[in-house]
């Protein structure tokens, strides 16, 4: 018997298996019997990652992932960690790390589509905030997005224009209007987040808004609003009378 064969047999004997857990406690069986809505976050995650490691079942591994002490831990961590960060977790290889990344991205897309459902146009800042909130409120750096619209106020472009440092993003009107002209947009809304969670506009936010508004007047492209995303809250500079 080769060394590899002996290692494989040893691994099989020592690997903790989900079948060793009573059937009524296994996430997959619980989902079949009771429905996904009755599963805990860890149980849902265990069903998705399917297998554990040599030392842990998939449920124990899921519990470990959710217990990590990073900013916005728990299930929100799935929106924050990168591929290398996931792979630093013992028991998480490349395949599981990719699965976890995809879970986070899928949740963002579901939220975005739900926000758009039945609302093909944006008529108030609350709709803009709902559309962007789950994408942006967890970000640890400032990000500026441009939402571009046609003559009927239909969204024709959603572009990340700038990713900044922990507390600053730098963008010029030129970069913004290049994207607007590419999409033949007649109007736009700027959206950016404050990692602090407080959406109150800074003096820099107000100055940038004025510069973009003035450049848009020259080009015939209207800046409709500048919305700042906080943690479940937002501020509209137009509603505040700052533009």
Which pLDDT tens digit goes with each residue over 191-230?
999 999 999 999 999 999 999 999 999 999 999 999 999 9
Q: Which residues of 34-63 are buried (b: 16+ CB within 10 A; e: fewer)?
A: eeeeebeebbbbbbebeebbeebbbbbbbb
Mean pLDDT to the nearest integer, 9-33: 67
- CA atoms within 13 A of residue 36's CA, in its CB half-sphere: 5
Which pLDDT tens digit goes with each residue over 164-173?
866 656 789 9
This prediction's pTM: 0.61
Confidence (pLDDT) at 107: 82
Q: Which residues of 197-211 are buried (b: 16+ CB within 10 A; e: fewer)?
A: eebebeeebeebbee
Confidence (pLDDT) at 78: 81
Residues 6+ apart with CB under 8 A from 59: 18, 21, 26, 27, 42, 43, 46, 52
| CA–CA dist 107, 123 (Å, integer) | 25
Which pLDDT tens digit goes with each residue over 102-139?
998 888 778 767 655 554 467 789 989 988 988 898 88
């Amino acid at each position: 018997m080769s060394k590899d064969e002996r290692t494989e047999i040893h691994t099989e004997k020592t690997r903790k298996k989900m079948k060793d857990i009573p059937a009524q406690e296994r996430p997959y069986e619980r989902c079949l019997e009771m429905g996904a809505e009755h599963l805990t976050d860890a149980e849902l995650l265990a069903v998705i990652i399917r297998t554990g490691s040599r030392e842990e079942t998939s449920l124990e591994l899921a519990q470990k992932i959710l217990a990590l002490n990073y900013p916005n831990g728990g299930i929100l961590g799935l929106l924050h960690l990168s591929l290398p960060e996931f792979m630093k977790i013992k028991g998480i290889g490349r395949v599981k790390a990719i699965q976890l990344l995809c879970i986070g991205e899928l949740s963002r897309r579901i939220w975005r589509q739900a926000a758009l459902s039945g609302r093909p146009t944006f008529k108030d800042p609350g709709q803009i905030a709902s559309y962007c909130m789950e994408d942006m409120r967890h970000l640890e750096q400032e990000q500026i997005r441009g939402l571009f619209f046609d003559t009927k106020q239909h969204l024709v472009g959603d572009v990340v224009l700038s990713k900044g440092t922990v507390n600053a993003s730098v963008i010029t009107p030129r970069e913004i209007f290049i994207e607007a002209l590419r999409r033949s947009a007649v109007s736009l809304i700027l959206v950016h987040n404050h990692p602090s969670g407080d959406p109150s506009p800074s003096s820099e936010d107000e100055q940038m808004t004025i510069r973009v508004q003035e450049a848009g007047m020259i080009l015939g492209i209207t800046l409709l609003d500048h919305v700042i995303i906080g943690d479940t809250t937002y501020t509209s500079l137009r509603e505040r009378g700052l533009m």
